[in-house]
Each structure stands twice: as C-alpha cells, then as structure tokens.
Structure 1
Amino acid sequence: MAQNPLIQNQFTADPSVRVFNGKIYLYPSHDIPATPGHGRAGWFCMQDYHVFSSPNLTDWTDHGVIVSQNTVPWADSAAYSMWAPDCIERGGKYYFYFPAPAKSGGPKGFSVGVAIANEPYGPFIPQPLPIAGIHGIDPNVQIDKDGQAYIYWAQGNLYGAKLKANMLELASEPVKLEGFPDKGLKEGPYLFERKGIYYMTYPHVADKIERLEYAMSDSPLGPFKYAGVLMDESLSGCWTNHQSVIEFKNQWYLFYHNDDLSPNFDKNRSVRADSLFFNEDGTIRKVIPTLRGVGVTASSKKIQIDRFSAKSADGVGVEFLDTLNKFRGWKTIFNKTNSWIKYNGVFFGKKTAGRVNVNACSATGGTLLISTEDKPGKVIAKLVIPKGNNWSVVKKAVSFMPGGVRNLVVQLKGSGHVEVDWISFE
C-alpha cells in the first residue's frame, strides 16, 4: 500500500529497513494475538519474522516467514519473544540478526542470533549458537566506510561493539554508549551515517510512553551528544515505538510503528513511514506522523482516501469498515454539506478519457464531487450515490482525465450521509 500503515493484512512492528540492489527490504517483528498455551496474554507475542520488499515504497511483496522460534537451534521454541531484528549485507551474503530467549540451560535473558542467506529474502539458515558476549535485545548492525562492522543493542542502556569480518563474533569488548538521558527506558538503537556524522536513534520513555530521540557523534561508538526529539509520543497512546532510517533515491525516510490496526491493544502494532529532512547544521527536523505516508499511488489502484493528506475541519470522519476484522481497513464518512478530504500523490497515465469508480454506501443518498487540487480545482466527475444500505461500486465517465502526479479532492455536495471505501480510475 502507498499509505500508513504500510502492511495492512497482518501486524508488523520494529521495522528494520534496508536498500539492497535498488529495492527496499523491510524486516519487521511480527505481532500475533496470544492464545492459551501460546504466548502471554496481554503482552507481546511474536513467534517468527517475515520480510517484505518494494521497488517504490508503494507496492509491497510479502516473502513469507524467514526465521521462526521453532527453527533456531538454541532458542526457546515456547517463548514467543522474537523481538526487533535487523539485516545487513556483506560479501554477497545477508546476515539477519534477531533477539530471543535461549532454551533452558542456556544464557538467561535475551541472546542475539544470526541467520545467513544468499538473497535478502532468504532462505535464511540460523546459526547453531548466538553471538557470545551479547545479552540484550534490538540488535542493529552497521558497516562503516573503512569496512569495520559494528553491532549495537539495548540492555537497560545502549551498548556497542566491533564485529569480526565473519559477522558472527565480537571483535571488541562491549561498551556502554554515552551521551543519552540517564532516566527512563532506552532501547531500539539504530545508527546511520550522513556526511561524516553518526546518528544514533532510539526510543526513550521520557514520561509515560516512548518517543523517538537521537544523538550525534563523529565516531561509530561515540561519545554521542544528545540532539533532540525525532518523533513525539504517539497521540494514540501506543506505548512503544521503534525506528530505522534510510536514504532511497535521494530522499531520507523514517520507518516506525503505531497501533493503527489495534487501537485498543497496543501490543499489536503496524509499520509506518514518513519523509525525513535535515537542517543545514546536520540536525534532524522532527518528523510529524501522517496517515498518507510516502510513495505515489497509481490512479488504477484502489485509492484509500481515509489515509488522507488533509480534510475539512468538520463533517468528515474515519472509521473501521468492520470492527470485528480491522484488517479490512477504514471508510471515510461525509455528513456535512461541502465537507471534503484531500489525498496527495496520485499518478495518472496518458489516457485522455475514462471513468472513475467509487465504492460507496449511503442511507440517505448523496452527491460526490471529485476534482484536482488545482486553483481553481478542475472537476473530474460528479457522482450520484444512490440511497441504500449496501455497498456498491458507482461508475461515472470523467469530464477529463488528469495527467502526471496530482492531488485529489473528494467533496460532498448538498446534504446527506455518504460513506466511501475507495476510489479508482480506469
């Protein structure tokens, strides 16, 4: 999907995102509901990892399970604690790092394991033992410009160490990283480098729930200097957040998570993405979360206008289509004359004629006006939504078909109550 959350048919969290061979690969953790005997009720429950890929930030492919608690020789197969992972390429091989509790008789707490593949989507082969010397969660691995690899993790504080060239063993003693707030939980370290500056990003509970912060250094192991807040606490109250930062086609992006698909239980989370920008002095502008997210939506796809860029102050609402199956997504509700919603970044081909399709339902009947954001806006089509209690696709020939990338506005003309699932063009 080209909207937030990026994956809408399952729960995803703790995104580690990489660019391999010109494509984006998303390595999240995988929240599932706990069931009797499988996980702890009311807590995080995660038994495996998927990987997703995209050539354009819009179309995502699920490559399926790559590592499971049942396939790791040293891991406790009944722990359901496969927490935040990472992946990196070296020498044509892909190294997937993940935390998990060990079997009875192994190290207490969390260890960090490695699985290796010849392709970024697998198959990944878990190594027989975890990395010696690491006790913690949320591994992050980076390779510096000189070829030296570093691994970072959390264990109450943030830690780092050098990795050997085999990417499986520590090459130095772990060090506690300095320059971060003393109070409050810190976890999820993710380091990236830009113009000689090393940025350490991390979630931190400064008050009651996590926000994203960052610190800067001229060295991969610091010392770091606290630089500010990358993203404020979630307005929904989601207790956790977790991030990664990448550059793709000359634009930087922040990947993170929220509880979009599970607003009443924040242990089932969903990955999001928004654009990230830097100030001239190298500091990062605070990222404001959006529903629209990133990427361009093809006009021929189902445009989910509930993932809007802007809307009128009143008369427009967004609700789940089915509260018993939230993976079905959302609907947009128009209930006031001239109420409107805007959706940015729709790509139209070169067609000069066609039609628009709107999946809608209206107990009262109503009229929708679809136009571009041009000033003055150019009307694409005016659709009469029939009165009824069932969803149906209303089709209408367009007055004109826009070209290129345009912003769309959908507006209710006259009175009525109209619900819209999606619109598309053909």
Structure 2
Amino acid sequence: MFIIISLMKYYKKCLLLAVLVPVLSGQLLAQNPLIRNMYSADPSARVLGNRVYIYPSHDILAAPGKGRVGWFCMEDYHVFSSDNLTDWTDHGVIVSQNKVPWVKPDSYSMWAPDCIYRNGKYYFYFPSTPKDTVTYGRNFAIGVAIAAKPEGPYIPQSTPIKGVHGIDPNVFIDKDGQAYLYWSAGNIYGAKLKDNMLELASEPVILKELPAKGLKEGPYLFERNGIYYLTFPHVEGKIERLEYSIADNPLGPFKMTGVIMDESPTGCWTNHHSVIAFKNQWYLFYHDRDYSPDFDKARSIRADSLFFNADGTIQKVIRTFRGIGVTNATANIQMDRYSAKSGDAAIDFIDTTNKFIGWKTILDKPNAWIQYNTVDFGKNAAKSVNIRAVSTTGATLVIRTKDASGPVLAEVMIPKGSDWSTVKKSIAAVQPGIKNLVLQLKSEGKVEVDWISFK
C-alpha cells in the first residue's frame, strides 16, 4: 500500500511530491518515534531470526460510541519489523477485538501485548475485557493467538488463559526450557507455563519484593549473565518511571536495584517497555507522546541504546530524538530528530492539524545549529545535497561534518519565499563511511528545514 498524506490544503499542488510521508509498501523510515504513521504504545520487541519485531498496542482517539472519550482506546494490534533498526515494515493488523471469540465486542481494551517463539510457533499474548463475566470475571483476562510466522496470520484461541486476571502479559523462556508468564493487577504476578504455552503450570505468585507503594505494572523479565532482571513501570510521584530488580531465579526473590529511565519530561504519565540485545548491542524500547503533546493517551513508541556497568547494574537510559540505527545519507535525513543542538535552534510540527507529517528545524539566529549523528555515506562519494526548506527572509545554511566547527561540505542559499522548496547544491568531496552532520545558519534571517539528503 502506498500511503500519501496530502498537503494540498496547505501547499501548492506542484510541491506535493516533496512532502510524501516516507511509507512505501508498509515501510516506515524512522528515528524517534519509530512508528510515524499512527499512534503506538507498549512496545514488546523481540529478536526473531535476523530481524527485530515490535508488537505494540495501537492507540486511537476515542469518540462518542467508540470507546471512552478521554481514556485509552485500542481496538487492534499491528506488528512491525526491521533488520537494521532504521527501516521498519508495518505488517498490518494481526489481531482485532471483534475477531477474538472471548473478547467483549467494541470494548476497545486491547492493551499491552507480548509475543514469543517456541517449537515452530509464535504465541501472541494480549489482555482485554471478556464478554462472559460469569466465567472469566469482570476484570481483564489474557488470551493467546498463534501463528506459524512472526508477522502472522494469528489465530486467537477461543478462551483466555485460565486463572489469569490482569493486564500487561510478558513471557520469558529460561535456558532450561521452562516458560514463565508475568502480568500485573495491582501487584505483579508470575507463574510457570505448561509446554503448550496456553495453560499455567503453577499457581500465580505475587512478586512481593517490589515497592509496596505506588502503581506497578508492565513487567518485562530478561536474563543476562545469570542475572534475572525484572523491569517495570512504577509511579513514585505523579507519573511512571522505569525501574528494575534482580534475582538469580525467574520468580525471585528479587532485590530492588535501580531506575532504568526517569519520568517523562513531557508529562506522559505512562511508560511501558521491553529490553533486547541485537547485534551485540542492548536496547530499551519504550513510549512517550511525541505526536500528541496535549493528550497522553495517544502515544508513540521509541528506542534508545542501553548499557550495563561491570557489576551488571543498568546505566540509566536518557531519552533522545535521534534514537537508534544508522541513517543512509541518500535517505531524507530528519535533522529535527537531532543528536544535539544549540540553545537557539527550535523544533516544531510542520502542520499542527496533521502532526504525522512530522517536524521541522527552525534556525533564526546566526550560528544556530543542529546535529544529527551516525549517517552512512556508503562506499561512493556523495556529490550533491538536497535541502527541503522555506525562508521568508532568505538565508544561507552551512553543512558540516563532525561537529559545529567541523569541515564544511557546502554553503546553501535558501531563496526568499513563503512556499517549501527543495534546493540542490554540489558539495565538497566527502569520504565514504559513517559521519555526523551539522546544519548551521550562517546569515541573518530565518529558515525552516524539513530534511536534507545526499546524492
């Protein structure tokens, strides 16, 4: 499917091709947030083969007769995958609320899921509201859908897992082959799973060694070097931060150890996450409210690198816009997803009526700059640069490598005008390989930049 977000209401028809959202055949080109054509939250990332698959929940905006207005509203699940952590493919909807036999119709409560591989099958775990409250109770239940491929199609089981009442399922398979299910319902619970991955093999236990006060939810357990890390969002103040405890057993006892990520500076009161190792690097996947700064029930998934200390403790992860992955120099490089910037460089939405179009960089003071790291110029030397920009005053931009005082690749004059345009300019020779890029305003005036790209 070729998805085009039309700006014909806002720009001249001849400029339409320059403002295509980069989504071709389900492919998304992304930094943070990772998914840039819809709201997404609660990312469960899994390494399956040579790709990373993300199973998030899918926020939509509630409306009268469609969910509870002002609250979380979710009706289905997508799955996304990538082999380079930069180009993400949307494989489409894998489970919908009204196609699951036990789920209450139109309940819009398809909350945080998880997925895991075992014995040639993929097991997708998800919570929702049951329609049979006599059998399953009035609280959330957790069901399973099964597929032969990580992207589906998934076939939901006719009933949820017996004896499990809660949300935020997480599944872990230990080195001895024993599978465990974790979930939250006021407390965080854990239990062994039978080999069929559909039934509990032990009675649920409350993991009591966690903080006694404040909301705890969203458990995610992983193992590294014999240490079992139970990670979870916890509200100590007003909004959630990501914390963790450690043990030498998948069911504890656990010892509270530290904070993985502080509370969101945007005020998004939830966070929900997963932790994976891919190609010798660890990553934290999480969410914030990038596309919905005024409403934190419409969230977007993100990822940043995660590092361990020598003793196995986790270094606190700092949120970035740049995120993860290497960006090809020939792609449209979104400088607004920056690695660093001067204090007088600003970021804003291109169009506040359609935020999925993305952001722009605003430079309006001489020497204001923005930096974007880890750009791959490949094996062949680039010869030119394209910049999509607009300047009502006219302005001159300098493109550098390395940092704000690094070698100059080009000076580009952005003509005076009120419409977005793409300006092409030859560049000085740039050696192949990975570079950091800096865009700097040289002149007086004001310029807004959508993206830059090298050819």
TM-score, scaled to structure 1: 0.99
2:39 to 11, 14, 17: 11
2:311 to 276, 281, 284: 281
Deviation string for 1:131-182 (max 9, x for gaps)? 0000000000010000000000001000000000000000000000121100
Structure 2: gaps of 5 or more residues: 1-28
1:327 to 1:37, Cα distance in 2 relative to 1, 3 A: same
Deviation string for 1:98-123 (max 9, x for gaps)? 00010044421100000000000000
Equivalent residues of 1:335, 1:418 under 8 A apart:
yes
For 1:415 and 1:374, how far apart are their aligned partners in 2?
21
Name the SS of the counterpart of 1:70 in structure 2.
Answer: helix
CA RMSD of aligned residues (A): 1.0
Paired position in structure 2 for 1:75:
103
Paired position in structure 2 for 1:332:
361
Residue type matched to 1:291 in 2?
Answer: F
C-alpha displacement at 1:200, in angstroms?
0.4
For 2:404 and 2:285, how far apart are their aligned partners in 1?
33
For 1:19 and 1:189, how far apart are their aligned partners in 2?
18
Equivalent residues of 1:298, 1:347 under 8 A apart:
yes
Paired position in structure 2 for 1:383:
412
1:32 to 57, 60, 63: 60
C-alpha displacement at 1:375, in angstroms?
8.9
2:127 to 85, 95, 99: 99
Paired position in structure 2 for 1:345:
374
Residue type matched to 1:419 in 2?
Answer: E
1:405 to 428, 434, 439: 434
For 1:269 and 1:211, how far apart are their aligned partners in 2?
16
C-alpha displacement at 1:377, in angstroms?
1.5
For 2:146 and 2:363, how far apart are their aligned partners in 1?
51
| Structure 2 residue 293 is matched with structure 1 residue 293 | no
Equivalent residues of 2:30, 2:36 under 8 A apart:
no
Residue type matched to 1:381 in 2?
Answer: A
Paired position in structure 1 for 2:224:
194
C-alpha displacement at 1:331, in angstroms?
0.3
Paired position in structure 2 for 1:396:
425
Paired position in structure 1 for 2:204:
174
Structure 1: gaps of 5 or more residues: none
For 2:90 and 2:303, how far apart are their aligned partners in 1?
17
Following superposition of structure 1 onto structure 2, how do residues 30-69 of structure 1 map, counting pairs within 5 Å? 30-69=58-97
| Structure 2 residue 425 is matched with structure 1 residue 425 | no
Residue type matched to 1:63 in 2?
Answer: H
1:404 to 1:146, Cα distance in 2 relative to 1, 3 A: same
C-alpha displacement at 1:403, in angstroms?
1.3
Residue type matched to 2:292 in 1?
Answer: S
| Structure 2 residue 443 is matched with structure 1 residue 414 | yes
C-alpha displacement at 1:300, in angstroms?
0.6
Residue type matched to 1:54 in 2?
Answer: S
Q: Once structures 1 and 2 are overlaid, which stretch shifts more, 100-109 or 179-188?
A: 100-109
| Structure 2 residue 144 is matched with structure 1 residue 114 | yes
For 2:174 and 2:121, how far apart are their aligned partners in 1?
17
Equivalent residues of 1:321, 1:330 under 8 A apart:
yes
Residue type matched to 1:245 in 2?
Answer: V
1:163 to 187, 193, 207: 193
Residue type matched to 1:13 in 2?
Answer: A
Paired position in structure 2 for 1:312:
342
For 1:329 and 1:61, how far apart are their aligned partners in 2?
18
Paired position in structure 1 for 2:23:
none
For 1:174 and 1:353, how far apart are their aligned partners in 2?
59
Name the SS of the counterpart of 1:327 in structure 2.
Answer: helix
Paired position in structure 1 for 2:50:
22
1:177 to 1:353, Cα distance in 2 relative to 1, 3 A: closer
Deviation string for 1:379-419 (max 9, x for gaps)? 11110000000000000011113310000000000211000
Amino-acid identity (%): 67
For 2:96 and 2:404, how far apart are their aligned partners in 1?
53
Paired position in structure 1 for 2:261:
231
For 1:364 and 1:376, how far apart are their aligned partners in 2?
25
2:176 to 118, 128, 146: 146
Name the SS of the counterpart of 2:87 in structure 1.
Answer: coil
Structure 1 runs of 4+ aligned residues shifted over 4 Å read none
1:407 to 1:80, Cα distance in 2 relative to 1, 3 A: same
Equivalent residues of 1:217, 1:223 under 8 A apart:
yes
Name the SS of the counterpart of 2:356 in structure 1.
Answer: helix
Equivalent residues of 1:160, 1:174 under 8 A apart:
yes
Q: Once structures 1 and 2 are overlaid, which stretch shifts more, 214-223 or 350-359?
A: 350-359
For 1:237 and 1:402, how far apart are their aligned partners in 2?
42
Equivalent residues of 1:358, 1:395 under 8 A apart:
yes
C-alpha displacement at 1:376, in angstroms?
5.7
Residue type matched to 2:384 in 1?
Answer: R
Residue type matched to 1:72 in 2?
Answer: V
Name the SS of the counterpart of 1:257 in structure 2.
Answer: strand
For 1:322 and 1:91, how far apart are their aligned partners in 2?
48
For 2:299 and 2:248, how far apart are their aligned partners in 1?
34
Equivalent residues of 2:382, 2:454 under 8 A apart:
no
For 2:355 and 2:443, how far apart are their aligned partners in 1?
31
C-alpha displacement at 1:2, in angstroms?
4.1
C-alpha displacement at 1:3, in angstroms?
1.1
For 2:395 and 2:44, how far apart are their aligned partners in 1?
44
Paired position in structure 1 for 2:4:
none
For 1:272 and 1:9, how far apart are their aligned partners in 2?
14
